Structures are given as C-alpha cells and as structure tokens.
C-alpha cells in the first residue's frame, strides 16, 4: 500500500507531461495566475492534492464541460501547468493491474462509480466511468476493478444515450487489453 501511495505523484506528473492543453481553452485560467485568481475564475476545485516539490494539484472535474477534467499544478501559489486529462493519450496509459489511486492520479475523479458486485461469488469490484468528447462525438472510458482495487478491464465505449439525442453514434474504440 505504501508503495502505491508513493507512485501517485509520479503518475500525476506523467499524465501532466504527455497530455496537450485544450485548443480552445480561452475561458480557462492562464499559467502565472495566482491561486486566488484561479478560484475566482473557475470556482472551487473538485479536489486538491499535494505533489512533490511543495506543489499542489487542483482538479476540476466536469468543468467547464461534463466531458472534461482539468488538472492544474500550482507552485508557490502560482499556476504553472493546466491540462485536460480526459483524452485517448491519458487513457492509453491505464494498464491491467493499476490501482484505483494510480488511475485517479492520471484521470481525476470519475464521472460515475458503480459497484456491480451483487453476488458474493462475483469477482468484479467498482466500475469507474469517465465521459469524453472528440470530433466523433461523446464516449465513456469504462474501467473495471477486481475486488482488491486493481484494473482488470479498460475500454472506450460509445456514449449511446448522449449520442442518440444528437442522432450520431460514436464507434467504440478497442480495449487497451487483449481479449482472452
């Protein structure tokens, strides 16, 4: 457990290093802004956590859109990095065996958490879903965990309900894991 806790800052830093800034982020705070300015512009974050080097990471899940989650890194009270993390690039880093805490470090708080373990013999624990949107429409990142909180399935699937309203369907992408 202690080793997993030590990995969290690394996974967050890794996720922030490879995810590009959203193209139309004009309404978001800019690097160099103070923490107070960011709070005024964006409101209260959905979570705040510490990172190595006396940094803080502020998470904004579902803001400004329900299909986005931003991680903002602050150093000495100033915004240094802002990244949209609900992307294929971030999702591709989710691997079998990762712990929930590691996934949370990469992608922030899930849009929905479900526990489908309604049978004592069932070996599936929580299911986390993240909502995303790209040029093809809306989708969900679906992540299933075993009872001890490790990833067993991760797949990008069509957000059928949202896409039916618009008349378009997203084609599901392949899972990150080979089929058995």
CATH number of the domain located at residue range(s) 88-166 in this protein: 3.30.1450.10
Alpha-carbon gap, residue 41 to 44, rounded angstroms: 9
pLDDT at 158: 87
pLDDT at 121: 56
pLDDT at 13: 45
pLDDT at 175: 43
**76-79: which pairs have CB atoms within 8 A and are 24 or more residues apart?**
77/34, 77/35, 78/31, 78/32, 78/33, 78/34, 78/35, 79/29, 79/30, 79/31, 79/32, 79/33, 79/34, 79/35, 79/38
pLDDT at 94: 97
Give me the sign of the Cα torsion angle 10, 144, 70, 83: positive
pTM over 0.75: no
pLDDT at 163: 54
Please determine, looking at this structure, whether the domain spanning 2-84 carries the CATH number 3.60.70.12. no
- Which residues of the chain fall below pLDDT 70? 1-26, 117-122, 161-180
**Parts of the chain belonging to CATH 3.30.1450.10:** 2-84, 88-166
């Amino acid at each position: 457990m202690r080793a997993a806790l030590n990995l969290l800052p690394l996974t967050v830093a890794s996720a922030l290093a490879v995810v590009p800034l959203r193209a139309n982020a004009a309404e978001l705070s800019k690097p160099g802004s103070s923490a107070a300015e960011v709070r005024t512009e964006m409101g209260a974050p959905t979570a705040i956590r510490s990172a190595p080097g006396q940094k803080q990471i502020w998470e904004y899940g579902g803001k400004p859109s329900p299909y986005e989650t931003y991680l903002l890194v602050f150093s000495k009270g100033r915004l240094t990095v802002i990244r949209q993390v609900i992307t294929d690039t971030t999702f591709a880093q989710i691997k079998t065996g990762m712990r929930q805490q590691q996934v949370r470090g990469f992608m922030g708080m899930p849009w929905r958490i479900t526990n489908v373990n309604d049978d004592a013999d069932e070996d599936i624990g929580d299911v986390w879903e993240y909502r995303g949107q790209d040029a093809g429409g809306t989708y969900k990142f679906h992540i299933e965990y075993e009872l001890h909180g490790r990833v067993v399935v991760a797949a990008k699937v069509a957000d059928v309900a949202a896409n039916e309203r618009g008349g378009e369907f997203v084609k599901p992408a392949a899972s990150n894991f080979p089929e058995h």
